[in-house]
Structure 1
Amino acid sequence: MNKHLNIIVVGGSLAGLLTSIPLKRLGHKITILERSPVPLLHDQGAGVVAGNETITWVQRHGRSRRSADDISLLNKQRLYLDHQGNVIDRETSHQHMTSWGVLYNIGRECFDGALRNSGVASSTDTPRSEEERGEASYEYGRIVTAIEDKGSKVEVKFTKSREGDNAAQAEGSMLCDFLIVADGPSTHLRKMLLGETTAQRTYAGYVAFRGTVLETEPSDAAQAVFIEKFTFFHGTDPNTQILAYTIPNAEGTLEKGKRLINWVWYHNVEELSDEYAELMTDTEGNKHRFTLPTGGHMQPHVWERQKQFAKKTLPPQFAELVDKTDKPFVQAITDLEPPNSKHEVARLMRGKAVIVGDALAGFRPHTAASTSQAALHALLLERVFSGNMTWDEYEDSVFEYAQNVQAHGVRLGTRSQFGHHPLAK
């Protein structure tokens, strides 16, 4: 594509940023519309597997951080523990681990010069190098309400939720040449683009408690099984799974002694139960559907109950991690199946829109592939907009990846939470 387009990206988290940056560098004008009312998204406090697609994206677009060693820690072994904390299986398994915060900071730095610790800047305020010749605007506090086909353009309508916005000007709209939907698995734009019958996000029957602990805080026995390792426990009474691995800290530091141990604990709970309602109700009494946010919003009595449950059901090393976590959060595990055919992946609105990342297909975290999917979409869109790939080839690749990984995640989750894992003890 030789013409420089005016592109709107709905969603300013990882999928939106990873997709926007290559297109900006091709010379296009990119406007991200992000619903959060604050200029920088809150750190999700979550570890991320840096898969091949993510590392390839960083190598191409990560500015000063362009290798796996710049953004991630190499966990060199995979361990499985029994209930007493004994190692029952050990495998050599090199896996790069990073964090949501590291990737988000890289994305904001590369997109518009904004860094979490230094405020917000716009890349249009400074001279752009040849490889960064497009324009970038990150418009936060913009909740998209509707999209309409306007012939050669797409009209995007939104409400303004930014602090300081004039109430008399609470509605807004923009026209663009091309629309990218990247606002996650709960997006309502998917239904607008694909119709009422398209799949929507559904609960899988279990949640993930998540948290981090500074790597120097656990006992020597716990550090021995967690530092620079990918460690699992699969329990059968009740069915449960917990895992942990080492990641950079919130500032992206890879220095020993300052890194974090990130843990994820899968726990079965009925969606209509009182337990689920309590889990998803924060300290202010607000009820959430799928995610209780980070930052210490879990009700104290709920967390105390879960810590006591951990002492009964988990190996002592994992129970120690749970006990020493100050600000846990909870995510409901959900499914979002990919569209019914490859023709619903791209070239929507008569060739003026595409769906990317978790908005296209929501994977269970067992696959460790959500960020990889976003990076894959970004790299392939770069090829399409550069004229090195056809839309038909793009749709084939994206659709096949989404189908295979989404189904694989369901199989892994079903075995872990409702079946029998071969290393369950």
Structure 2
Amino acid sequence: MNDRGRAIVVGGSFAGLTAALLLREQGFEVDIFERTGDYLDGRGGGIVLQPDTVRWIQERPHPFTVEDVSIGSTVMRYLGEDNKIAYEEAAAWRFSSWTTMYRVLFDDFGPEHYHLGEFAVGLDQDDDGVTLRFVSGRTERASLVVFADGVSSVGRRRLQPRVMPRYAGYIGWRGCVPEDAVTAETADLINDALAYSVIDSSHICMYAIPGADGSLSRGKRQLNYIWYRNVAEGPALDEMTTDLRGFTAPVSVHPGQVQRRFVDQMRTEAASLLPPAAAELIARTPEPYIQIVLDIAVRNMAFGRVALIGDAAFAARPHAAAGTAKAAADAWSLAAALAAEPDIPRALAAWEPSRLELGNDLLSRVAEMGARSQFTNTWDPADPALHFGLYGPDR
């Protein structure tokens, strides 16, 4: 029975779906409003499954396990010249695809209260609730609003307009390659590994993820990567991130929209700079795309009856592979705060301090990781401070 009033979640991605599912359990009548006109499966690449990321699957009844939707690794492996193994240690990570995890959450939430093509543009709130306005002319009212609308969050812009993304000084070339499209040597090197290669002022990270159809079988999976390259802010970055339509992208240049000359240049440089396995992934990617690496930090996440979660609050560089984990953790902690305190503004006020602390800590750690790989050339494969994780090596 829904007895806590209505909650609206703005953004139907990983953070939004997790929050919506948990709020519905708290007794809210929940609606998600997603600005895109199509469901989001098929977007995004690989993700690393950290405990917060998979908590919904593990703690709620499902006809499958985490192992059924992910691929495991046994080692962290660094490749050097000619694919020689430069460093290796045991590392039991699990990897999935953004699409696979989205489908799990969406199937659990269902389509009935998931509204497509609704772009939130403004809001007002009073003592009793929040009114949202949409580009379509629609207005909606709720007792709680959660903005989970990502890096370009409307909620953040309206509530903290002075907070601006800060460019990190480098971009990530990303892509996924069908496993059966690469040589056996390349597939074997990445098969059971979190694989890296570190070169002067740059590094690449690679691992296997489910196939486009969710397949986990060898030969039917995908090999996912992100290659970090320094690009000067200003004209050089603007030119590279102008897509084929002539629009300069603020966050990413989508697959199929990157100017061909930059793709060709990147592939040529990969062949001369990276180990053959990494260069092969890049060469065989049909449509590599660009992620602009940004830092975003808010001063507040709670505003009366409105909350910011996930990348709508803190957007961290990918080095800790913690984006989806932080989004899920924000949602779980928000639900716990609302369970402990029935008054929504008081619950959000109590929830906020620990989330701000975690967000700022994560941003500080990934900035240090990026500096060590891209600028100071002090990356050490054996240093636990450079390993994946939302909470860092000491937690």
**TM-score calculated relative to the size of structure 1:** 0.84
Deviation at residue 297 of structure 1 after TM alignment = 2.2
- Identify the residue that residue 203 of structure 2 maps to in structure 1: 241
Unaligned 5+ segments in structure 1 are 113-120, 123-136, 161-170
Deviation at residue 399 of structure 1 after TM alignment = 2.2
- Identify the residue that residue 387 of structure 2 maps to in structure 1: none
Q: Is the 8 A contact 2:41 2:103 kept in 1?
A: no
- Identify the residue that residue 130 of structure 1 maps to in structure 2: none
The residue matched to 1:155 in structure 2 has which SS? strand
In structure 2, do the counterparts of structure 1 residues 142 and 392 end up closer, same or farther at CA, with 3 Å as the change threshold?
Answer: closer
- Identify the residue that residue 220 of structure 1 maps to in structure 2: 184
Deviation at residue 251 of structure 1 after TM alignment = 2.5
1:139 and 2:78 aligned: no
The residue matched to 2:314 in structure 1 has which SS? coil
1:8 and 2:8 aligned: yes
For 1:200, the aligned partner's letter is M
The residue matched to 2:138 in structure 1 has which SS? strand
Q: Is the 8 A contact 1:80 1:423 kept in 2?
A: no
- Identify the residue that residue 29 of structure 2 maps to in structure 1: 29
For residues 300-358 of structure 1, give each alpha carbon's deviation from its aligned partner in whole angstroms, at most 9, with x where no partner exists: 2221121111111111111111001102111100001242xxxx232x13xx1111111
- Quote the Cα distance in structure 1 between the aligned partners of 2:191 and 2:178: 11
- Identify the residue that residue 96 of structure 2 maps to in structure 1: 98
Q: Is the 8 A contact 1:14 1:107 kept in 2?
A: yes
The within-5 A match list for 1:257-406 is 257-274=219-236, 276-294=237-255, 296-339=256-299, 344-346=300-302, 348-349=303-304, 352-387=305-340, 391=348, 394-406=351-363
- Quote the Cα distance in structure 1 between the aligned partners of 2:354 and 2:213: 34
- Quote the Cα distance in structure 1 between the aligned partners of 2:350 and 2:122: 29
- Identify the residue that residue 50 of structure 1 maps to in structure 2: 49
For residues 267-304 of structure 1, give each alpha carbon's deviation from its aligned partner in whole angstroms, at most 9, with x where no partner exists: 11113134x2343223333332221113x222222211
- Identify the residue that residue 393 of structure 2 maps to in structure 1: none
How many residues of Structure 1 are paired with residues of Structure 2 in the alignment? Answer: 377
Deviation at residue 391 of structure 1 after TM alignment = 4.8
Deviation at residue 224 of structure 1 after TM alignment = 2.4
- Identify the residue that residue 391 of structure 2 maps to in structure 1: none
The within-5 A match list for 1:163-182 is 171-182=137-148
For 2:216, the aligned partner's letter is L
Deviation at residue 220 of structure 1 after TM alignment = 2.2
For 1:242, the aligned partner's letter is I
The residue matched to 2:9 in structure 1 has which SS? strand
For residues 174-224 of structure 1, give each alpha carbon's deviation from its aligned partner in whole angstroms, at most 9, with x where no partner exists: 111111011112223224324x44x32121111001111112222122122
- Identify the residue that residue 185 of structure 1 maps to in structure 2: 151
1:416 and 2:392 aligned: no
- Quote the Cα distance in structure 2 between the aligned partners of 1:4 and 1:288: 40
For 1:211, the aligned partner's letter is G
- Identify the residue that residue 386 of structure 2 maps to in structure 1: none
Unaligned 5+ segments in structure 2 are 382-395
Deviation at residue 32 of structure 1 after TM alignment = 1.2
Deviation at residue 361 of structure 1 after TM alignment = 0.7
The residue matched to 1:297 in structure 2 has which SS? coil
- Quote the Cα distance in structure 1 between the aligned partners of 2:240 and 2:282: 16
- Quote the Cα distance in structure 2 between the aligned partners of 1:37 and 1:56: 29
- Quote the Cα distance in structure 2 between the aligned partners of 1:292 and 1:210: 10
Instruction: Using the aligned pairs only, state the percent identity.
Output: 28
Deviation at residue 252 of structure 1 after TM alignment = 2.0
- Identify the residue that residue 168 of structure 1 maps to in structure 2: none
- Quote the Cα distance in structure 2 between the aligned partners of 1:306 and 1:415: 22
1:250 and 2:212 aligned: yes
- Quote the Cα distance in structure 1 between the aligned partners of 2:265 and 2:208: 26
- Identify the residue that residue 134 of structure 1 maps to in structure 2: none
- Identify the residue that residue 118 of structure 1 maps to in structure 2: none
- Quote the Cα distance in structure 2 between the aligned partners of 1:388 and 1:68: 32
- Quote the Cα distance in structure 2 between the aligned partners of 1:423 and 1:376: 29
Deviation at residue 61 of structure 1 after TM alignment = 4.0
Q: Is the 8 A contact 2:133 2:140 kept in 1?
A: yes
Deviation at residue 106 of structure 1 after TM alignment = 1.1
- Quote the Cα distance in structure 2 between the aligned partners of 1:267 and 1:402: 25
The residue matched to 1:203 in structure 2 has which SS? strand
Deviation at residue 89 of structure 1 after TM alignment = 0.5
Q: Is the 8 A contact 2:2 2:27 kept in 1?
A: no
- Quote the Cα distance in structure 2 between the aligned partners of 1:36 and 1:391: 28
Q: Is the 8 A contact 1:338 1:361 kept in 2?
A: yes
Q: Is the 8 A contact 1:71 1:98 kept in 2?
A: yes
For 2:173, the aligned partner's letter is F
Q: Is the 8 A contact 1:62 1:110 kept in 2?
A: no
Deviation at residue 392 of structure 1 after TM alignment = 5.7
In structure 2, do the counterparts of structure 1 residues 219 and 354 end up closer, same or farther at CA, with 3 Å as the change threshold?
Answer: same
Q: Is the 8 A contact 1:49 1:368 kept in 2?
A: yes
Q: Is the 8 A contact 1:281 1:292 kept in 2?
A: yes
In structure 2, do the counterparts of structure 1 residues 26 and 422 end up closer, same or farther at CA, with 3 Å as the change threshold?
Answer: closer
For 1:337, the aligned partner's letter is A
For 1:156, the aligned partner's letter is L
Instruction: Report which stretch shifted further, 300-309 or 284-293.
Output: 284-293
Q: Is the 8 A contact 1:178 1:353 kept in 2?
A: yes
The residue matched to 2:378 in structure 1 has which SS? coil
Q: Is the 8 A contact 1:35 1:143 kept in 2?
A: yes
- Quote the Cα distance in structure 2 between the aligned partners of 1:355 and 1:203: 21
**TM-score calculated relative to the size of structure 2:** 0.90
For residues 209-262 of structure 1, give each alpha carbon's deviation from its aligned partner in whole angstroms, at most 9, with x where no partner exists: 1111112222122122111211111111xx111010011112222122211110
- Quote the Cα distance in structure 1 between the aligned partners of 2:128 and 2:138: 20
For 1:325, the aligned partner's letter is T
